[in-house]
Amino acid sequence: MTSTVDDAPSQAPEDGHPSGDERFALVDKHLKRVRYEQDQLIETLHVAQDVFGYLSEDVLMYVARALLLPPSMVYGVATFYQLFTFEAPGDHACTVCTGTACFVKGADGIVRTVGDAYAVAAGATSDDGRLTLKTARCLGSCGLAPVVVLDGTVHGHLDAAEAVALVRAAVDGGGES
């Protein structure tokens, strides 16, 4: 009749994170390294986003608890920075810089054309999950304006048609019918 620790449900993997999701173990590792310092919040959010691909509500709560910070504060900090994303990303990511130099050189047209081609609004992921379209303020490469970052590769001096062709090559590449 006594209840011991051994009686507790033991569904956790033998050598894994109690949640069963090993990605949290990677976040824990970082948290330990920075000694759970509250001023490491932004760095921790970066690590969590790198690990999970985006910051879900669960992950934000997890970070808040680990750093003993109010969830509202963690959410506030995360939403303040454009670098953080709160939705699962698509298979491919296209970020169009809409800073002044890029805007002047037609960035808006690129956003519109790519968005139309994949029926996705800026800041969202297409329904089929293949493409996430984002905009960013100056990416620091104004000499290349307008700048598009596709799956981590920087492309410059693109017009809308060239941008769509690039995106199509990445998203539909190999899928010619």
Residues that bind ligand FES (CB under 6 A): 97, 99-102, 138-142, 145, 147
| Closer of 110 and 145 to ligand FES (Cβ) | 145
Please, what's the b/e burial string for 48-87 (b: 16 or more CB within 10 A of its CB; e: otherwise)?
Answer: bbebbeebeeebbebbbebbeeeeeebbebbeeeeebbee
| Closer of 42 and 154 to ligand FES (Cβ) | 154
Q: How far is the CB of 86 from ligand FES (least distance, A)?
A: 23
Question: CB of 83 within 8 A of CB of 48?
Answer: no
Q: How far is the CB of 85 from ligand FES (least distance, A)?
A: 19
Of 55, 73, 56, 54, residue with least CA distance to 64: 73
What H or E segment, with its residue span, contains residue 72? helix 71-80
| Paired sense of beta strands 148-150 and 153-155, if any | antiparallel
Q: How far is the CB of 155 from ligand FES (least distance, A)?
A: 12
Q: How far is the CB of 116 from ligand FES (least distance, A)?
A: 21
Q: Angle of helix 41-52 relative to helix 57-66, nearest 10 degrees?
A: 140
| Closer of 133 and 139 to ligand FES (Cβ) | 139
| Closer of 99 and 115 to ligand FES (Cβ) | 99
| Closer of 107 and 164 to ligand FES (Cβ) | 107
Q: How far is the CB of 90 from ligand FES (least distance, A)?
A: 22
